[in-house]
Amino acid sequence: MTEHRSALDTVQAQLDAFNAHDLDAFVDTYEEDAVITGVAPEPLRGRVAIRAFYEPRLANPDLSCLIDTHVLFGSRWVVAQERVINAGVSTETIATFDVVAGVITRASMLKA
């Protein structure tokens, strides 16, 4: 049950789904009206937009993500230093996640 999942567990579930290329599980870690910034020119708003953006990406078997380190602020904010790897090329990203009731409500990505 997601409402009992901690912020860190939610972010880990999102990462696991991303690396498993499981689009449904990935999208399910986001709240229905979640917003993601920093991955596209305009913010992704809602699960439909998140699904549409990530579907072709998660179809790429060479795409993965590692969290090098993370910090929990309070009970709901996670800041993670990530490496997104595509075909052997690594890009460092700082990601922030606002997690409420076991789902991500807001995420922001900043590429180094």
The helix/strand/coil state of 42 is: coil
For residue 1, pLDDT beyond 50: no
Q: Which whole-number Å values give the CA distances from 69 to 27, 84, 95, in the listed order? A: 23, 13, 11
Q: Supply the pTM of this predicted model.
A: 0.93
For residue 11, pLDDT beyond 70: yes
CATH at 53: 3.10.450.50
Q: Which whole-number Å values give the CA distances from 26 to 20, 47, 74, 89, in the listed order? A: 9, 10, 24, 22
Instruction: Compute the average pLDDT of residues 22-27.
Output: 98
Burial zone of 12 (CB within 10 Å; 0-12 exposed, 13-18 middle, 19+ buried)? middle
Contacts (Cβ under 8 Å, ≥6 apart) of 82:
65, 66, 67, 68, 92, 93, 94, 95
Q: Which domain holds residue 46?
A: 2-111
How many domains is the chain built from?
1
Mean pLDDT score across all residues of the chain: 95
The tens digit of pLDDT for each residue in 35-85 reads 999 999 999 999 999 999 999 999 999 999 999 999 999 999 999 999 999
